[in-house]
Amino acid sequence: MNCPACTRPLTALFIEDIEVDACHGGCGGLWFDNFELACFDEPHELTAAQELLSVPADLSVEVDYHAKRQCPKCAVPMMRHFCTALRRTQVDACPQCGGNWLDVGELTQLRAEFREKAVRAAAKAKPVINKHLKWFVAED
Ligand SMILES: [Zn+2]
Ligand SMILES: [Zn+2]
C-alpha cells in the first residue's frame, strides 16, 4: 500500500497488536481503516494512540495538502471532511472502505479540538463526530 499523499510505501506500525499504516520517513501521515479505528475506541486505548503522534517524517518531502487523494486500498477519490464542531481540521475519508487518512499533525490538531469543552458540549447536543474518530475524545 502506498502513501496517498507522497506515494512512498507505507510502513505497518503495531500498536497493541493493531496495525496502523504510517508514512514512516516520508510525509509522516497515518492510514486507519475501519477495523483499526474500531480497536482504538476505548478510553484506555488513548495512551496507545500517543505513539502515533510522533511518526518520524522527512521534512523535505513535498506534499500538496490541497490535492484530491485516492484511497490507498480502493483507489477511489477520498472526501475531505471536518471531524469536530469547531470545523478546523479536515481529514480524508474513503467513501468505499471507510478508512481515514490523516496528514502529519492532523491527529494532534484533532485531539486538541476534541479537548475543548465547547466541542464536547456541542457534540453531545448534536453528534457530528465521525463514529470512526470518536476515540480521539480524551476522557479526563
Ligand atoms: Zn507520505
Ligand atoms: Zn477505501
Predicted confidence (pLDDT) per residue in 103-133, tens digit: 988 887 777 776 775 566 766 765 555 555 5
Ligand nearest to the CA of 26: 1
Cα 50 to middle of ligand 2, angstroms: 25
pTM across the whole model: 0.74
pLDDT of residue 95: 92
pLDDT-based confidence at residue 135 (cuts at 50, 70, 90): low
Q: Which ligand lies nearest the alpha carbon of 104? A: 1
Rounded to whole angstroms, the Cα distance separating 29 from 13 reads 12
- Distance of alpha carbon 9 from alpha carbon 25, whole angstroms: 10
Residue 97 CA, ligand 2 centroid: distance in Å: 4
Of all residues in the chain, the percent with pLDDT exceeding 90 is 29
Reported confidence tier of residue 91, pLDDT bands at 50, 70, 90 = confident
Instruction: Give the residue with greater pLDDT, 38 vs 70.
Output: 70
Helix (H) or strand (E) holding 19: strand 18-22
Q: How far is the CA of 52 from the centre of ligand 1 (A)?
A: 14
Decide which of 101 and 139 is more confident.
Answer: 101
Provide the grid cell at 100. 481515514
Nearest ligand to residue 11 Cα? 1
The amino acid at residue 75 is A
CA dist 64 → 3, 51, 125 (Å): 13, 25, 35
Ligand 1 centroid, distance to 56 Cα (angstroms): 11
What are the boundaries of each domain within the chain? 11-136
